Amino acid sequence: MALINKIREKSGWAVGAIAIGLGIFVVGGDLLGPNSRLLGNDANEIGEIAGETIEYQEFDEVFQQMKTNYENQTGRSANEGELAMLREQAWNQLIFKIALEKEYERLGIEVSEEELFDMVQGNNIHPAVRQAFTNPQTGEFDRAQVVQYLQNMAPADRPMWTNFEQGVASDRVRTKYSNLLNKSVYVTTAEAKNFFNAQNATASVKVLYVPYFTISDSAVNVTDAQLKDFYERNKELYKVEEGRSIEYVTVPVTASQEDNKTYEEEMASVAKQFAAASNDSAFVNANSDRPYNGAYLTPGELPEQLRTVTLEEGKVYGPFTAENSYSLYKVVDVKDGGKSAAKASHILIKPESDTPEAKAAAKAKATDVLNQIKKGADFAQMAAQYGSDGTASVGGDLGWFQTGQMVAPFEKAVFGASSAGLLPELVETEYGYHIVKVTQPKTSRSYKIAAIERAMEPSESTRDAAYAVADELSGTSGSLEEFRANVAQNKALVKQDVKEIGKNNIVAGGLNNARELVRWTYAKDTKVGDVSPVFEIEDQFVVAVLTGKREKGYAKVEDIKDELTAAVRNELKAKQIIEKIQKTKGNVDQMAAAYGPDAMLRTADDVTFASGTIPGIGLEPVAVGKTFGLKPGGRTAPFEGNGGVIVVELVNITKAPEVQDLSGVKQQLVNMRSANTESQAFEAIKEKANITDNRVRFF
């Protein structure tokens, strides 16, 4: 039975493993099944890949297998985010199966019957077969076990074995294709030398840098003609996928004052019953959102509400309110003899250096602060004024701590105190001089606490009231203009915008698990200006209006006007700055002085061609490229950089050391290129597969 289970686990594994290996995961949405599809003659078609129609059932079979495998491996049900990942994996697995298999066929890559036999029973056993038929006693592969299994295979197991063999064959085909790609990677000696030089040759430069922000945006006028011209020159930068834009409002569903009052009354009643309960663990398990723990807690581990009160065995404390929840605590037992704990505050005065003079100065300052506190100065205020660590902002409070948590001198002083109060002497540690106030002296007492915690859930009437607000907004808004007007009239509603939502998204702006809203935006009958029905997303009701549709291809100028305007504005600023720089003369120091205070002069050493970065300026690959084309003492004309106009003056270039043997560099380059070949090939094949993705119709 164990062997059959191994085969079952392995059957169909190869294709999924390859899809995962390619690392192509895009968040998808909730699978609702064919009953949720939109109307149309192609209602069962989930998409098309390389000319082949993908029916819903075919996709679902792949998805369900991946879901089952995932949940078997993790031992739990997949959550929404994981389901989305699995659906994308299933889709990519189908792309792999169809598009890549066509490529294999075109290239003549296949696995013969003889080769398959060799991988299962011959001399070149496939790793999956070896793993499934390894003798657990010896740890060795047992070929005889394979033969015995095949001879005695039950008819019911034959489909599973066939699936397993198909997985083995698919993996071998994929390996052949991968090897074919990797063997095509070749690095010449010249490439290796250039790569080595780019990594190791360094330049020292002086840079004149005038950022674009030195010219006010309002001083540069951008015309529509300039926007269009820039767009046409850089059109390839603005390729986009299909997208939708919305405006939406949320109506939170939170407990009302009436709900809180009901909870308070209920918890007051529970508190009386809790005090009289004889079996605290059973009472907690019956009345709390969290099960009974029963652990003993030190004072520092107690709930915050119990740390400032004197606890008595058998007494109930609360109810307490915090973060939409109520809590009650009962002291079940109190015992002594545990690990000691204490609570203290301190003011740390650190020496400025390790010199005797600096230490003496710090000690004198700490002594002065201690004397002021002894005369009546407020400890917390003095900590805020003089403390030099993170506790200064909270009055020096260190909270509770146990033995072993503080450095030895500090711990000895605090745990040596018999009562609360200011320690009369400074405490010196490796960090400096401490003024210490013991706020709770040491104790070895611990407490067993029974806790009842309940979340404050909104009542049905509260939920209905919130829904009524959202429903009225949806029902009375017949257009974008009416939606905006209605939101403006209700001061409690806040409108938010989300741009370019992808068709397989499960997130829309700040809304998680918003798959149904996303699907509505892509429905065939949803038009720009349409207002959505009410969606319940987590703990809120949501109403949205579709404000825009973007089709796959090139972005429209009007849709990216702000982005284009910023780019064109920088071009125009660059022209102004370059014209002004060209009127100056001399080296970069003289040019910077002549230009004025807006010009920045930077020096940088160890600039490498491979980095594309100039320290102190940032990523400027054009500037770096120009640098290595200069001779020492030479400089560039002013040119447009990423963040401003640049003039580079080369001080010196330190050449890379001579290397006689470039084989290591060649291998490094081969490894780098080989690592990406398979995924790049898959993306290229995927791009040419003319994929139609209709998954949004189903989930």
What residues does each domain of the chain span?
A: 2-181, 202-238+561-654, 242-254+458-551, 256-457
How far apart (Å, rounded) are the C-alpha atoms in residues 105 and 87?
27
HSE-up (13 A, CA, CB side) for residue 514: 26
First vs last C-alpha separation in the chain: 38
How far apart (Å, rounded) are the C-alpha atoms in residues 639 and 462?
63
* Angstrom distances, CA of residue 561 to CA of 432, 564, 641, 642: 58, 5, 22, 19
How far apart (Å, rounded) are the C-alpha atoms in residues 306 and 308?
6
How far apart (Å, rounded) are the C-alpha atoms in residues 322 and 318?
11
Q: Do 581 and 210 form a contact (C-beta atoms < 8 A)?
A: yes
Q: What is the pLDDT of residue 476?
A: 96
* Angstrom distances, CA of residue 163 to CA of 15, 71, 96, 104: 11, 20, 17, 19
Q: Which of 177, 190, 104 is closest to 677 using CA atoms?
A: 177
In sequence order, what E strands does 363-418 have?
397-402
SS3 163: helix
Q: Is 324 left (phi over 0), alpha (psi -120 to 50) or beta?
A: left
* Angstrom distances, CA of residue 419 to CA of 307, 407, 415, 423, 443: 17, 21, 10, 10, 11
Instruction: Say which CATH architecture domain 242-254+458-551 belongs to.
Output: Roll (3.10)
Degrees to nearest 5, angle at CA 86 with 81 and 89: 130
Full DSSP string of 227-250:
HHHHHHHTGGGGEE--EEEEEEEE
Full DSSP string of 676-687:
HHHHHHHHHHHH
Q: Which helix (H) or strand (E) holds 414?
A: helix 408-415
Decide if 242-254+458-551 and 256-457 have a common fold. yes
In this prediction, the residues of the chain whose per-residue pLDDT falls under 70 are 1-42
* Angstrom distances, CA of residue 574 to CA of 219, 232, 234, 615: 13, 19, 17, 21
Q: At which residue do the structure tokens 């190791």 appear? A: 200
Domain covering 256-457 in this structure, CATH number: 3.10.50.40
Torsion on CA atoms 641, 646, 652, 654, rounded to nearest 10: -10
Third-level CATH fold of 202-238+561-654: Chitinase A; domain 3 (3.10.50)
Q: What is the pLDDT of residue 222?
A: 95
Return the structure tokens found at 264.
Answer: 């308070």
User: What would the pLDDT profile of 68-108 be if each residue is shown by its tens digit?
Assistant: 888 888 889 988 888 888 998 899 889 888 988 899 999 99
Q: Which of 566, 604, 601, 597 is closest to 586 using CA atoms?
A: 601
How far apart (Å, rounded) are the C-alpha atoms in residues 623 and 638?
10
Q: At which residue do the structure tokens 């400025």 appear? A: 352
DSSP 99: I
Q: Do 476 and 458 form a contact (C-beta atoms < 8 A)?
A: no
How far apart (Å, rounded) are the C-alpha atoms in residues 1 and 540?
50
Q: Do 553 and 243 form a contact (C-beta atoms < 8 A)?
A: no
Sign of the CA dihedral running 110, 115, 120, 125: negative
421-422 and 427-429 beta bridge pairing: unpaired
**What is the distance, to the nearest Å, from the Cα of residue 131 to the centroid of all Cα atoms in its chain?**
36
Q: pTM of the entire structure?
A: 0.65
State yes or no: cis peptide before 409, omega within 30 of 0: no
Q: What is the pLDDT of residue 31?
A: 32
Q: Do 551 and 171 form a contact (C-beta atoms < 8 A)?
A: no
Degrees to nearest 5, angle at CA 338 with 336 and 341: 100
Helix ranges (DSSP H) in 39-133: 56-74, 80-95, 101-107, 113-120, 127-132
SS3 360: helix
Q: What is the pLDDT of residue 19?
A: 41
How far apart (Å, rounded) are the C-alpha atoms in residues 153 and 227?
71
Q: What is the pLDDT of residue 12?
A: 47
User: What would the pLDDT profile of 534-543 be if each residue is shown by its tens digit?
Assistant: 999 988 999 9
The strand pairing partners of 682, in sequence order, are: none
Residues comprising the chain, all counted: 699
Return the structure tokens found at 446.
Answer: 């611990």
Backbone angles phi, psi at 388, to 5 degrees: -120, 20
Q: At which residue do the structure tokens 């169909």 appear? A: 12
Q: What is the pLDDT of residue 24?
A: 33
